Amino acid sequence: MEHIETIAELGLNMNGSMETAYEMVKMAAFCGVDAVKSQKRTVKEYLTEEQYNRPYDNPSSFGKTYGEHREVLELDKYQHSRLMGYAKELKLVYFTSAWDITAAQEMNEIGIPIFKIASASLTYDALLEEIKSFDRPIYMSTGMSTLEEVDHAVDILKGSDLTIFHCTSCYPCTFDDLRLGIIPFLLERYNLPVGLSGHHRGIAVDIAAITLGATKLERHFTLDRTMKGTDHAASLEPGGLHKVVRDIRATERSMLVSKKELLECEIPSWEKLRTVK
Residues 167-188: tens digit of each pLDDT:
999 888 899 999 999 999 999 9
Q: Rounded mean pLDDT of 191-218?
A: 95
**Measuring CA to CA, which residue among 251, 242, 166 is closest to residue 207?**
251
pLDDT at site 208: 95
Domain total in the chain: 1
Residue 229 has pLDDT above 90, yes or no: no
What is the pLDDT averaged over residues 81-92? Answer: 98
Amino acid identity at 12: L
The CATH number linked to 148 is 3.20.20.70
- Segment 18-30 shows an average pLDDT of 97
d(CA 147, CA 158): 16
CB-based contacts of 18, cutoff 8 Å, min separation 6: 75, 79, 82, 83
SS3 content of the chain, % helix, strand, coil (to 5): 45, 15, 35
33 with 8: CB under 8 angstroms?
A: yes
Q: Kindly list the distances between the CA atom of residue 28 and the CA atoms of 7, 9, 36, 236, 265, in Å, as whole numbers in the listed order.
A: 9, 9, 7, 11, 35
- The fraction of the chain above a pLDDT of 90, given in percent, is 83
Determine the average pLDDT of the residues in 222-241. Answer: 89
Q: What is the pLDDT of residue 46?
A: 86
Confidence bin at 113 (pLDDT 50/70/90): very high
Residue 277 is predicted with a pLDDT of: 64
Q: Is the dihedral of CA 200, 216, 137, 81 positive or negative?
A: positive
Secondary element (H or E) of residue 5: strand 5-9
Q: Which domain holds residue 185?
A: 5-273
